[in-house]
Amino acid sequence: MKKYLRLILEVLLGLLLAGAIAFGYWSYSGKKHIQHELADATEVRDEAQEEVDKLAQELEEAKEKLAKTEPAAVQMAAMRGSFENGVVLQDYEAFIKSLKGPMTSERQLGLGALRMLSKGAEDPDTVSAFEKALEMAEWSSRLKSICAAQNALVAAGQKVKVLSDCAEAAEKKGHGKKHAHWDYSGEMGPQHWGDEFPTCGNGQKQAPLNIVGPFEKSKDVLTVNYKEGPLKLLNNGHTIQVNVEPGSTLKINKAVYNLLQFHFHRPSEEQIDGKPMAMVAHFVHKSDDGKLAVVGVLLNEGKEHPLIKTLWDKAPRSEGPEVTVAGVKINPQDLLPASLSHYSYEGSLTTPPCTEGVTFYILKTTVDIGKKQVNDFPFKHNARPVQPANGRKISAN
Ligand SMILES: [Zn+2]
C-alpha cells in the first residue's frame, strides 16, 4: 500500500499532469450529456472537434489553476477517493474512445495515471498505458511528464529503455546531481524554490518557524505507538529518510495518524528563540483522510545515541534507491523523549513543493546525539530558513 501511495505521489505531486487530466475530465464530466447528444448525431464532427479543442484549452487552464490553488495533499485525497472504485477510469476510457482527434501522449499518460490510481501499479494495463505514452512522447516538450511515467514504470518493476534520457535531463538541470530540481544553496537554493514550486514562494503558512512566545495553550494530546520493524533507508539527495512499514501510529486526541517515515535536518530547521539545534528529526504522519502531522524531535550535541548509530552505519552515503538492511530491526520510538509536551503550529512541507496543511508538533524535550554523530550525517546543511509567521499563533503545552 505504501509503495502504491508513493507511486501516486510521484505522478500527482511530481508533475501535476494526472491532476490536470483528471481536472479536465471533471470539466468534461459536467458536459457529458451534451457531448453524448452530439455523438448521436452524424453531422456534428466539426462541433465535436470544437468541443475537444475547448476541452484541451480547459485542460491547460485547469493545469494552471491547479498549480496555483489546490494543495497537493488535498487533491490527492480527493482524487484517490473518486478513483478507487474504477468508475472514473471507465468514463475516461469511453471519453477517449469518443474523441475524433489523435490519441496524444498526454491522453495516454492520463489513462496510465488513472489506471494506476484505480487498479494499482502492478496492473498490466497500467504498465502498457504508460508504455504507450512513452512511445508517443514528444521528447522536447514533455520530457518531465514522460520521465515521471517512466519512473512509475521503473517503480512498478518494469525495464524501461529510455532511462538515460531522463537521467540526462535531470543531470543537466541539477548540475550533475541526479533528480535535483532544488537544493539548499546556490541557484536552486530556498530563495529560488518558488520559481518552480509556487507555494514555496507565495504560501502564507510556510514552515519552519522561529518558535517564540507568547504562546497559546495547546489542547492537543499526543499518544505515540510506534512498532518495531525492518530498517529501510533512503538517501534521496536531500536527507537520510527512514521509511516505516504500516502499523506505527500517532494519536492526536482521538484522531489516528500513521507514521510514514522520519528524516533529518542539519541544523534543526525550527529555531527556539532564534537559535537552531544541532539537528532535528521529523516524524511524518498521515491520517486516513489525508491530513499530515509532523512531530519534530530536536537533537542536541551530547552523548551518543544508539539508534542514530545504527542508522548512520547503514545509511547510503550518496543518493540512490531505498535499501532494506537485512536482519536489522528498529523502533522509531527509541528516538523520542519521554515527554511529548510540545510547541505546535500550522505549517507546510519544508521541502518543495512546500504544500500547506501540515500541523507541526515540536517536542520541548531535546534528545542527545554525539558530536561525531552530527558530523557524520552525510548532509552538511539541509535546513530551510525560518519562514514568516504571518500572524500564525504558536501553541504550547
Ligand atoms: Zn523535514
DSSP three-state, residue 164? helix
Average pLDDT of span 244-271? 98
The amino acid that residue 349 corresponds to is: L
Q: Tell me which residues have their CB within 5 A of the ion that is ligand 1.
A: 282, 350
Bridging pattern class, strands 229-235 and 210-211? unpaired
Q: Minimal CA–CA distance to 222: which of 49, 361, 56, 25? A: 361
Question: What does the pLDDT look like over 184-214, one tens digit per residue?
Answer: 999 999 999 999 999 999 999 999 999 999 9
CA 172 to ligand 1 centroid distance, Å: 26
Would the pLDDT of 27 be above 50? no
Handedness of CA 228, 233, 236, 238 (dihedral sign): positive
**Backbone conformation region of residue 252, classed left if phi is above 0, alpha if psi is from -120 to 50, else beta:** beta
CA 291 to ligand 1 centroid distance, Å: 16
CA 68 to ligand 1 centroid distance, Å: 23
**Domain edges within the chain:** 2-173, 199-396
CA dist., res. 87 & res. 83, Å (int):
7
pLDDT at site 83: 64
> Considering the domain 199-396 in this protein, what is its CATH number?
3.10.200.10
Q: End-to-end distance of the chain based on CA atoms, in angstroms?
A: 35
Grid coordinates given for 352 = 518543495
Q: Does pTM surpass 0.85?
A: no
CA 114 to ligand 1 centroid distance, Å: 30
CA 276 to ligand 1 centroid distance, Å: 14
Would the pLDDT of 386 be above 70? yes
CA 208 to ligand 1 centroid distance, Å: 9
The DSSP H or E segment spanning 341 is none
Q: Kindly indicate the confidence band of residue 24, based on its pLDDT and cuts at 50, 70 and 90.
A: very low
CA 158 to ligand 1 centroid distance, Å: 31
Residue for grid cell 466539426 = 46
Q: Would you give the DSSP letter of residue 391? A: T
Residues 6+ apart with CB under 8 A from 334: 306, 307
Question: What does the pLDDT look like over 57-94, one tens digit per residue?
Answer: 766 776 666 565 555 555 556 655 666 667 677 777 77
Least confident range of 44-48, 106-110, 290-294: 44-48
pLDDT at site 62: 63
Grid coordinates given for 310 = 545504527
Judge whether 89 and 18 are in contact, CB under 8 Å. Answer: no
CA 156 to ligand 1 centroid distance, Å: 27
CA 351 to ligand 1 centroid distance, Å: 7
CA 83 to ligand 1 centroid distance, Å: 30
Taking all residues of the chain, what is their mean pLDDT, rounded to a whole number? 80
CA 176 to ligand 1 centroid distance, Å: 24
